[in-house]
Chains A and B, each alone.
Chain A
Amino acid sequence: MILPRFDVLVPETVDEACTMLADHADEGIRLLAGGTDLLVDLRRPIIPQHVPRCDGCPTHPEGRILSTIECTPSDSDSLMASGGSLRAALEDPRRASPAYLISLHKLDQLKGIERLKDGGLRIGALTTISEIERSREVRDGWTALAEGADNLGSPLVRNRGTLGGNIANARPAADMAVPTIALNGRLTLHGPSGARTISAKDFPRGPGISVIEPNEILTDINYPPPFPHSGSSYYKLANRKALEISTVGVAVWLALEEPDGPVEDVRVALGAVGPTPILAESVRETLVGKIPDEPALVKAAGAAAGDARPIDDHRGSAWYRVQMVELLTLRLLKIVLRRARGDR
């Protein structure tokens, strides 16, 4: 597999990048951050997903013939020019074979972890997963995010992968997106007419599809200040202990009114059990304002499982995933409660 032909533009400011996005939208232009997703996506596989079926082929009028390429005479030249596979041509060619990539590696202003005056956290979209993994600040105040970073891929992936890339790719199992939703993160999208912020849970629309506009760039992600008596955690369920995409991912954030008091707020986010990461909204009513005893936690876990909408795929069946959502939510609630009460 090799990469299709493209040109690489290297902007020095975010505005420059947005302009480039607008200028080349028709020819296909995509953002390149760490590259661990995009550069894999762009490669042409050896065996195509689609094998053309020719009906009424002049050579074989019996019809229903498969072919390695479409046999329309007019295509003979265009196929040579595109240099891409038929599969790529059948998808939106601007995404599968963009003429341009914008490499963001010079945008230093999008890198870094910054504690804000209000106690919240701003993380630049180009901050690598490794930097997040190693940040004491993140681990102490936004533990689920650090644990997402712990479990993502492998050290090599973490060294290149970025928080923004992981979230912007809008994959349902994304190890940073799921904790970000549980932690009530907000995304800043920068476009030609300025910036807007949206809640992380409203960002993804489907697998690989988000609300981002074609000429917008995700620039940073903000996390609210930690509540007193709160804690968070993330668990990634997979088969082997590294280099995995999760079978099920669960992130839990919980805040107590007081250490022995009722729950002030709770957010449970689920990964890999739906077309997007899911905020399990049903959990709130089982716990908010209530004392988090065993029956309440069990009920909460059941509510989370009820919100999950998994499918069967080669990583796991829906049956197994739903059970694991319930099991892991219960386990994480207990861990997070201990953290909220101050026992780390």
Chain B
Amino acid sequence: MKKIISLTVNGVTSDLAVEPRRTLLELLRDDLGLTGTKKGCGIGDCGACTVLLDGVATFSCLTLAIQADGCSVETVEGLAKDGKLNRLQQAFVNQGAIQCGFCTPGMLMMATELLRRNPQPSELDIRREISGNLCRCTGYQKIVEAIQVASEETP
């Protein structure tokens, strides 16, 4: 029996009917068509599905949509404003932190939370913070560098 929840996604609030077992990831990708958030494993091992739930980096694959009722969700689609990449996204592009791109949305959301909480993270802080986001292409080097560059530009 579906339940009605209210969800604000990237600033837009809407009411949605969801099955109790629907995960936030399924809701975002299948119901809202926001396919930027990726499913790498579905059980919280890879971080590809990372979104911000009330500002906290969260596995959307292990969050039931019902648990997000009344919350605000930020996904990768909400980072760029007026078609312009934000500082973090631009740093990823410029530093070569993107290869296949599948881990990128999750990395960006994780890094967004980090930089809000800690605008001047050390390299170790950064590595620790993204340690739950797996990447198989880059060896993490350029991702760390991109986050460093983005943090240096913080006003």
Contacts and interface: CB of A to CB of B under 8 A. Distances in A.
A4 interface: yes
Report, nearest first, the 9 A-B pairs whose CB atoms are least far apart: A154-B132, A242-B131, A156-B132, A8-B20, A3-B21, A40-B43, A8-B66, A35-B62, A39-B62
Contacts of A103: 64, 66-67
Interface in A1-15: 1-8, 10
Nearest to B19: A5
What class of interface size applies to chain B in its complex with A? 20 to 34
B20 A155 contact: no
A35 B131 CA distance: 20
Interface string A242-259: 110000000000000000
A225 interface: no
29 contacts: A1-B42, A2-B21, A5-B20, A6-B20, A6-B21, A7-B1, A8-B20, A8-B66, A10-B66, A35-B62, A35-B63, A36-B44, A39-B23, A39-B62, A39-B64, A103-B66, A105-B67, A155-B110, A155-B128, A156-B50, A157-B44, A157-B132, A159-B56, A159-B57, A160-B59, A160-B62, A242-B131, A243-B45, A243-B132
Interface string A156-169: 11011000000000
B105 interface: no
Interface string B98-113: 0000000000001000
Nearest to B41: A1
A43 B64 CA distance: 13
Contacts of A154: 47, 131-133
Given A6-B20, A155-B57, A155-B132, A160 B43 contact: no
A153 B131 CA distance: 9
B148 interface: no
Interface string B56-76: 111100111011010000000
Contacts of B133: 154, 156
A221 interface: no
Nearest to B26: A2
Contact of B64 (A1, A35, A157, A243): A35
A6 B22 CA distance: 10
A156 B20 contact: no
Contact of B62 (A7, A36, A243): A36
A7 B56 CA distance: 26
Interface of B: 1, 3, 19-21, 23, 42-45, 47, 50, 56-59, 62-64, 66-67, 69, 110, 128-133
For chain A, the bracket of interface size reads 20 to 34
Contact of A243 (B1, B20, B21, B131): B131
B132 A8 contact: no
Contacts of A105: 67
A35 B21 contact: no
Contacts of B132: 153-157, 242-243
Contacts of A39: 23, 43-44, 62, 64
Contacts of A160: 58-59, 62-63
A7 B57 contact: no
Contacts of B128: 155, 242
B95 to A, nearest CB: 21
Contacts of B58: 156, 159-160
A333 interface: no
Contacts of B66: 8, 10, 103
Interface string A31-42: 010111001100
A7 B2 CA distance: 9
Contacts of A10: 66, 69
A8 B131 contact: no
